[in-house]
Amino acid sequence: MSLLKRWLGGDSKPAPSSTSKASPPRGGGKKKQKAAAGNQPKQPKSDKTVKSAKGHTEYAKTPARKKIKPSPKDLPPLGDDFAVLDLPRPLNHAIQTLGFETCTPVQKSVLPHSLDGADIIAQAQTGTGKTAAFLVSLITFHLENPEERSRAPGVPFGLIIAPTRELVMQIAADAESLTQFTDLRVMAVVGGIDYEKQKKQLTTPVDIVVATPGRLLDFCRSDVLKLNQVEMLVIDEADRMLNMGFIPDVKAIIQRCPKKERRQTQLFSATFSEDIKRLAARWTLDPVRIEIAPEKVATDRVTQKLFLTAEDDKFSVLCNLIDSEDLDKVIIFVNRRDATRRLEDRLYRQGYATGLLTGEVTQKKRVKTLEGFKSGELKVLVATDVAGRGIHVDNITHVVNYNLPEDPEDYVHRIGRTGRAGADGTSVSLICENDAFMLGSIETLLGQPLVCEHPPEHLLQATKAPVRGSRKQDLIQSGNDSKHGRRGKSSTHRRR
């Protein structure tokens, strides 16, 4: 089975055991039981309720956002892992359309509980499929209970909080893919985007909001967003929120949501420190606790090279490295999404067969890019950490850190993309003055010193002139050629 058709990353293994002291699930389950009257607490249910015919009728009447729905005969068969979950038809259609077949361990552990309405505390790394785990339960809840809410501008029923803009955009893209055959509206709320533009978008009904804490709180304080009807709350990468100083904002946001007895809460964290445990106890009600063992990287099979390089020389060193080394497949990691796009375009203009993975890339495009990388059609993949964590491709010979990551665990994860399945691999880090500050924490995590050296002379040769225009220019030219009935001229560049 293709690793690319696994559920948002991660190998299929028997699900690890989870410890649970969960009370009977509340209203966030597959079919919510209404309170008898007024503001009475949600009534617990002991058994998972099978979808009613009314639920299917509601789906049939709901206009899809896409003009063309897939015909069941055109869809691949639904994997056993998903069939047993009895998910709503539009969600199953999305899963089948995206080609997902197998649940990852975190999904096998989380979904049976979250679909029954239990609160979740899960220890899981990015790239394990946790995003799909909480999105599936959130989407299912809405599709199973469409009659219980009236859509209003700026009043979401689902709220997902994540620490970084990149992660928010990745989660929102995944949510769009999984809701493509529903009328659910997903919106990402992040800093760095025009405030008034986002404010205008929130004047229309929104169902699921994915947000960074700061910008979300700004909209709440100005009454653009109201969280009093949030029924499903997800806090992703809680440990990074803590480390980045966002917890006061998160607390203020949660205070604006219904009390924990009136909502379902899922909290995900790579680590369970005492601080995280205290926050989880405050924000969840009798949660199911799930722990997924972090991926272990066999660094002894990875040759780590660290080159001291001026920022202006990095691109030349990178190109010469790709040309001179025996590189079959190489992943280049960059810290920022905009810098990732610029680097990928520069490499494309140099004639390399490149692909791009960032948080804004749709799941469909992501799968296509990874298939091209796996088949050898693409030799170079340029990625951010968030987008790159779900990459499970064999025979990656080299990983290049164009920047050292700010989080030392990301360094370990990056180099773990090579040296897999008993093969040897090489990681190359290009270290300028700004990167040097991250070395100490990486060495502490690895438990060993890292030797830095100047790159050999042949890697410092000047880069050749670009052999083609930017990808955008090529697309425009291709469109013009098609418009005028001409076949595009074949490029004379050497495909590297």
DSSP state at residue 48: P
Q: What is the pLDDT of residue 421?
A: 66
Task: Provide the phi-psi class of 150: left if phi over 0, else alpha when psi is between -120 and 50, else beta.
Answer: beta
Say if 490 falls within a structural domain. no
Q: In angstroms, rounded to a whole number, what is the distance separating the alpha carbons of residues 17 and 15?
A: 6
Q: Indicate which CATH number applies to the domain containing 15.
A: 3.40.50.300
Beta strands 19-20 and 288-291, pairing class: antiparallel
Asked if the structure places residue 487 within a domain, the reply is no
The pLDDT score that the predictor gives to residue 23 is 38
Q: What is the pTM of this model?
A: 0.65
- Are 222 and 303 members of one domain? no
Q: Which helix (H) or strand (E) holds 446?
A: helix 439-446
* In a shared domain, residues 273 and 318: no
Which residues have CB under 8 Å from 187's CB, separation 6+? Answer: 172, 201, 202, 206, 208, 209, 210
Residue 483 resides in a domain: no
Which of the listed residues 270, 291, 312 is the one where a domain comes to its end?
291
360 shares its domain with 285? no
Say how far residue 370 (Cα) sits from the centre of its chain: 15
**pLDDT tens digits for 216-244?**
999 999 999 999 999 999 999 999 898 88
Is residue 273 domain-shared with residue 180, that is, in the same domain?
Answer: yes
Same domain, 205 and 337: no
Of 275, 291, 307, which marks where a domain is finished? 291
**Domain boundary residue among 246, 263, 291?**
291
| Tally of structural domains, the chain | 2
Domain assignment present for residue 486? The answer is no
Question: Which residues have a Cβ under 8 Å from the Cβ of 40 and sit 6 or more positions away?
Answer: none
pLDDT on residue 478: 54
pLDDT at 473: 62
From its phi and psi, is residue 444 left (phi > 0), alpha (psi between -120 and 50) or beta? alpha
Domain identity same for 285 and 337: no
Whether residue 340 is found in the same domain as residue 281 = no
Looking at the fold, whether 144 and 241 belong to one and the same domain comes out as yes
pLDDT at 147: 61
Q: Are residues 352 and 230 in the same domain?
A: no
Assign 356 to helix, strand or coil. strand
14 and 120 both lie in a single domain: yes
Q: Is residue 42 part of a domain?
A: no
Which pLDDT does position 193 carry in this prediction? 82
284 within domain boundaries: yes
Q: What is the extent of the structural domain holding 213?
A: 3-33+47-291
What 69-74 contacts at long range (C-beta under 8 Å, 24+ apart), as own/partner pairs, is 69/93, 69/181, 70/96, 70/97, 70/181
Q: What is the pLDDT along the chain (496 residues), one digit of tens a residue?
A: 332 333 444 433 334 444 444 433 455 554 444 333 344 444 333 333 333 333 332 333 333 333 334 444 444 454 557 778 889 999 989 988 887 778 888 998 999 999 999 999 999 876 678 999 999 999 999 898 876 556 788 999 999 999 988 889 889 989 999 999 999 999 999 987 888 989 998 888 999 999 999 999 999 999 999 999 999 999 999 998 988 899 999 999 999 999 999 999 999 998 888 999 999 999 999 999 999 876 565 567 899 999 999 999 999 999 999 998 778 899 999 998 899 999 999 999 999 999 999 877 876 788 789 889 989 999 999 999 877 766 778 789 999 999 999 888 889 888 988 877 677 889 999 999 999 889 999 998 888 899 999 999 999 998 888 888 777 666 555 555 555 554 443 333 334 5
Do 94 and 227 have their domain in common?
A: yes
Residues 328 and 403 in one domain: yes
Render pLDDT for 300-327 as a digit per residue (tens, 0 to 9).
789 999 999 999 999 999 999 999 877 8
Rg of the Cα atoms in the chain: 24
Residue 40 domain-assigned?
Answer: no
Residue 489 in domain:
no
Q: Report pLDDT for 282.
A: 96
Residue 268 neighbours by CB under 8 Å, 6+ apart:
120, 122, 123, 124, 130, 134, 234, 235, 236, 237, 238
Calpha distance 415→304 (Å, rounded):
8
